């Protein structure tokens, strides 16, 4: 098999890259180790920042998002007995949208299928070769295949094979806690997301639709989900989110899914070696507190697609040569913001930290400068920042 760009991974980065390359007249083939159903039903991100929404709309992927997504003006920051709304539209003129990653994946999958794009699901034994003839080998139902390409792009997440082919420096940080994530079949108890600091631990009240709520609890890093009954989860959420305060109530409902997510960060630089590039989680992971993971993957491929179009159709290497440095500027900005949100909101055993966190929260909630700093980063900086 031969193509111009071999893409490993059919997550948001891989499928959106394929879509953007096709817009620029460049052919690609995507290989994916999971099934399409699995990829489209994986419960992950929920927030699209302003530039992500604008990008998706600009390439014909915004129709269902505009119909079924929900625009949010901002978020609530909360600590015991206080809840403050930060209005991003007032502060920086940009909003965010609630639209699950599962829906983004479905929209991308349908668009690629409608375009006749080759996405090969359920592959095994993927291997990447960065030689004078870059190529990828893999098996399907035990049959070996080789895909030759001008360029290979690893969109294969943090455990995929491509990272190993792009040697460089890796920065890592593992946070001393995890998130217990819950999907509940109940209408959200809030109009916009609530990020709550509480001495028992952080809690987040997010949502997926008018009938489905997404909630998270800070738990110890080695938490066994079996130790958390639905009732224990709802009790902890009620306490941390302030059920009963000022008449606000957290409505309970059937829990459809619960899981423990590790909190870690890594960045790998550079994001290119020769004809092999990295994009999305293959190059960086951020803790989800800043709602950046999916949006960073979109930002990477929004930079990479035109670079590969110029390289492959006009033999102009300039944007491809700049890709890694430009992408990493935003990666580090989002890595810092995710760290800033995470350390501001997650309790530690040190009472000194608690005083620092409460002081920081009071400042962000009461100072236009502080609130604008959060809004600017959360709603998303312009692509190419």
**Region binding ligand PHB by CB under 6 A among candidate stretches 104-112, 166-174, 286-294, 325-333:** 286-294
**Which partner from the list ligand PHB, ligand FAS, none does 31 bind, CB cut-off 5 to 8 Å by kind?**
ligand FAS
Binding ligand FAS (rule: CB under 6 A), the pick from 95, 126, 342, 377 is 126
Q: 284: closest CA among 294, 275, 274?
A: 294
State phi, psi for 174 to the nearest 5 degrees.
Answer: -110, 125
* Site track 144-183 with ligand PHB (rule: CB under 6 A), x = hit: ----------------------------------------
Chain mean position to CA 138: 27
Instruction: Please identify, using beta-carbon distances, which residue of 69 and 157 lies nearer to ligand FAS.
Output: 157
Q: Tokens representing 370?
A: 């502080």
- From the candidates 177, 216, 323, 378, which is the catalytic residue? 378
309 binds, among ligand FAS, ligand PHB, none (CB under 5 to 8 A by kind): none
Residue from 195, 216, 284, 323 carrying the catalytic annotation: 195
Is 308 among the residues that bind ligand FAS (CB under 6 A)?
no
Least Å from the CB of residue 152 to ligand PHB: 31
Residue 287 near which of ligand FAS, ligand PHB, none (CB within 5-8 Å, type-dependent): none
Adjacent-strand bridge partners of 184: 213, 255
Scanning the structure block, which residue is given the tokens 């009461």?
A: 366
> How far is 338 from 332, CA to CA, in rounded Å?
10
User: Which residues in 201-239 are b (16+ Cβ under 10 Å) and which e?
Assistant: bbbbbbbbbeebbbbbbbbeeebeeeebeeeebbebbeb
Binding-site member from 3, 4, 18, 33 for ligand FAS (CB under 6 A): 33
Find the shortest distance in angstroms from Cβ 59 to ligand FAS.
16
In angstroms, give the least distance from the CB of 155 to ligand FAS. 5
Tokens of 181: 């994530």
Number of neighbouring beta carbons within 10 Å of residue 186 = 17
| Least distance (Å) between residue 34 CB and ligand FAS | 4
Q: What is the dihedral of CA 287, 293, 296, 297, to 10 degrees?
A: 140
Q: Are 349 and 180 in contact (CB under 8 A)?
A: no
Expressed in percent and rounded to 5, the helix, strand and coil fractions of the chain are 40, 30, 30
How far CA 69 is from CA of 51, 108, 152, 355, in Å, comes to 15, 15, 33, 37
Q: 9 or 293: whose CB is closer to ligand PHB? A: 293
Please give the residues from 127 up to 156 whose contact with ligand FAS meets the rule CB under 6 A.
155-156
135 is catalytic: no
Q: How far is the CB of 124 from ligand FAS (least distance, A)?
A: 8
Q: Report residue 49 as tokens.
A: 């920042």
**Nearest to 153, CA basis, from 11, 5, 50:** 5
Tell me, yes or no, if 72 is annotated catalytic.
yes
**Distance from the Cα of residue 184 to its chain's centroid:** 21
Q: Under rule CB under 6 A, which residues in 208-227 are in contact with ligand PHB?
A: 214
CB 63 within 8 A of CB 354: no
**Is residue 294 within the footprint of ligand FAS (CB under 6 A)?**
yes
Task: Select the span of 38-46, 77-85, 226-234, 321-329 touching ligand FAS (CB under 6 A).
Answer: 38-46
Active site residues: 72, 195, 288, 292, 378
List contacts with ligand FAS (CB under 6 A). 8-14, 31-34, 39, 44-46, 101, 123, 126, 155-157, 160-161, 261, 280-281, 288, 291-294, 297
Residues forming the site for ligand PHB (CB under 6 A)? 45-47, 193, 206, 214, 288-289, 291
């Amino acid at each position: 098999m031969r193509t111009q760009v071999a893409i490993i991974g059919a997550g948001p980065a891989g499928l959106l890259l394929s879509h953007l390359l096709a817009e620029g007249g460049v052919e690609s083939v995507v290989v994916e180790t999971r099934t399409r159903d699995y990829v489209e039903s994986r419960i992950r991100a929920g927030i699209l920042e302003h530039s992500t929404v604008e990008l998706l709309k600009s390439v014909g992927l915004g129709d269902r998002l505009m119909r079924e997504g929900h625009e949010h003006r901002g978020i609530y920051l909360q600590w015991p007995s206080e809840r403050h709304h930060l209005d991003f539209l007032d502060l920086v003129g940009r909003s965010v949208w609630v639209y699950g990653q599962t829906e983004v994946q479905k929209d991308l999958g349908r668009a690629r299928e409608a375009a006749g794009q080759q996405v090969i699901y359920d592959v095994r034994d993927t291997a990447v070769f960065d030689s004078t003839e870059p190529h990828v080998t893999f098996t399907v139902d035990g049959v070996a295949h080789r895909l030759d390409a001008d360029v290979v792009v690893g969109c294969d997440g943090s455990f995929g094979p491509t990272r190993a082919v792009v040697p460089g420096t890796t920065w890592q940080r593992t946070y001393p806690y995890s998130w217990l994530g819950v999907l509940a079949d109940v209408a959200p108890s809030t109009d916009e997301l609530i990020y709550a600091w509480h001495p028992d631990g952080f809690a987040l009240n997010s949502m997926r639709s008018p009938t489905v709520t997404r909630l998270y609890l800070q738990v110890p890093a080695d938490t066994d989900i079996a130790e958390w009954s639905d009732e224990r989860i709802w009790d902890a959420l009620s306490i941390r989110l302030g059920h009963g305060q000022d008449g606000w109530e957290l409505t309970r409902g059937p829990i459809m899914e619960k899981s423990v997510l590790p909190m870690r960060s890594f960045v790998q630089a550079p994001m290119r070696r020769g004809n092999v590039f990295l994009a999305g989680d293959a190059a960086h992971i951020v803790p989800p507190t800043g709602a950046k993971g999916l949006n960073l993957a979109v930002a990477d491929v929004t930079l990479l697609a035109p670079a590969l179009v110029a390289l492959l159709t006009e033999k102009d290497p300039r944007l491809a040569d700049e890709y890694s440095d430009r992408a990493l500027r935003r990666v580090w900005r989002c890595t810092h913001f995710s760290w800033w949100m995470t350390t501001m909101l997650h309790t530690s055993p040190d009472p000194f930290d608690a005083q620092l966190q409460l002081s920081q929260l009071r400042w962000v909630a009461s100072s236009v400068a502080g609130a604008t700093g959060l809004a600017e980063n959360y709603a998303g900086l312009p692509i190419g920042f």
